[in-house]
Amino acid sequence: MKTEELFDDTENTEHSPAERAAAASRSTWVSVAVNLALTFGQVLTGILSGSQGLVADGIHSLSDLVSDFVVLFASHHSRKDADEEHPYGHQRFETAASLALGFLLGAVGVGMLWSAQRKLEDPASVQRVHIVALWVAMGALIAKELLFRYMLAIAKRVKSSMLVANAWHARSDAASSLVVGVGIVGNLAGYPILDPVAALIVGMLVLKMGWEFGSEALHDLMDRSADESEVDAIRQTLLGTSGVIGVHDLRTRKMGDMIVADVHIEVDATISIEAGHDIAVAARQRVLTRHRVLNVMTHVDPRKRGGVDTPPGQTGA
């Protein structure tokens, strides 16, 4: 599923880069606090209770801490103004962060698979744990699920794929806490094999999630267009501009969570070049104010009355 499909297409409210950066910082610092507490709590309890699964889950929480700081770093750099070397700004720092999170999820998934395989090869090595480990695992599950829902709600509100990726990273940790809980229950009931089997399943799910986010980010870095519904909405905004009688060759590409577009707009061939330029400026401004578009390059094509096209002379606006 594409990241854009998680966003509500009926929500027309757009947020400035500063608002999006503030939301990213606020939600990520909440995640830092939660993950820091879980890392120490799970590792310490795991060691004292004899639960290898809880220690591993604490290390997974530590990987969330790393991803949180990646997000904070990207959020800080993505809001830098455009400069000579980056004329379109630094929004793709967010895409690069999503790619890094994808790799991080993949690495965590591989680590979980490797650990589960070792346990499956020697299930007798899993010692009996203290029941307190189960309560800590369940507490971690609840905390991670609540954190996921909080972060995803903010990500959808400000339409940030980077925050979506980080929210789902939190969900992957909640899944691992569930697995650890099941494994601890199995351990207490005399079935230690349930721990590595469950960890193996979640490891595959985490690895799959990492692949999906990494693949999405890689496609965006290769100038993938915005989703079809958003492109159509931009086209309708252009067509709704006074003086625009046609639109063609509308092309978009992702720039972080923003969009860069270029388009040919058709105007009456009998009007002056200045009037055509003014129409193009108005069309561009309407798009910038109504959509999450960073820049629009417009090309003006004259069209004769009655729909008979003239040779495509172009003026930029």
Task: State mean pLDDT over 24-41.
Answer: 84
**Are 140 and 163 within 8 A, CB to CB?**
no
**Where in the chain is CATH 3.30.70.1350?**
228-303
Task: Considering only residues 265 and 81, tell me which one the structure prediction assigns the higher pLDDT.
Answer: 265
Buried b (16+ CB within 10 A) or exposed e, 162-178: bbbbbbbbbbbbbbbbb
What is the chain's Cα-based Rg?
25
Write out pLDDT tens, residues 214-236.
887 787 777 777 888 889 999 99
Tell me the per-residue pLDDT of 182-223, one tens digit each, with 9 for 90 and over: 888 887 888 777 767 766 777 787 788 778 878 877 877 777
**228-303 CATH:** 3.30.70.1350
Q: Exposed (0-12), middle (13-18) or buried (19+): which is 287, by Cβ within 10 Å?
A: buried
* Token digits of residue 47: 């060691």
> How many whole angstroms separate alpha carbon 261 and alpha carbon 183?
51
Report the C-alpha gap between 268 and 91 in whole angstroms.
Answer: 36
Q: What is the mean pLDDT of residues 95-124?
A: 78
Find the mean pLDDT for residues 280-286. 92
| Token couple for 69 | 């700081």
Burial category of 290 from C-beta neighbours within 10 Å (exposed 0-12, middle 13-18, buried 19 and up): middle
When pLDDT is averaged across residues 78-94 and rounded to a whole number, the result is 65
Residue 89 CA to residue 5 CA, distance in Å, equals 25
Confidence check: pLDDT of 281 > 90: yes
**In this structure, what are the phi and psi dihedrals at residue 297, rounded to the nearest 5 degrees?**
-100, 120
Q: Which fold has domain 3-221?
A: Alpha-lytic protease prodomain-like (1.20.1510)
CATH 1.20.1510.10 domain position(s) in the chain: 3-221
Q: What is the pLDDT of residue 195?
A: 66
Question: Could you give the CA distance from residue 27 to residue 147 in angstroms, rounded to a whole number?
Answer: 9
What is the pLDDT of the chain when averaged over all its residues? Answer: 77
pTM here? 0.59
Element (H, E) at 222: none
188-211: burial string, b at 16+ Cβ within 10 Å, e else: eeeebebbbbbbbbbbebbbebbe
* Exposure of 67 in the CB half-sphere (CA atoms within 13 A): 32
Per-residue pLDDT at 48 exceeds 50: yes
- Interhelix angle 273-290/228-239, rounded to 10 degrees, is 140
Provide the 8-state DSSP code for 292: S
Half-sphere exposure of residue 103: CA atoms within 13 angstroms, side-chain side: 9
Query: Does residue 90 contact residue 80 with C-beta atoms inside 8 Å?
Result: yes
Q: If you write DSSP's letter for every residue of 172-187 in order, what string do you get?
A: HHHHHHHHHHHHHHHH
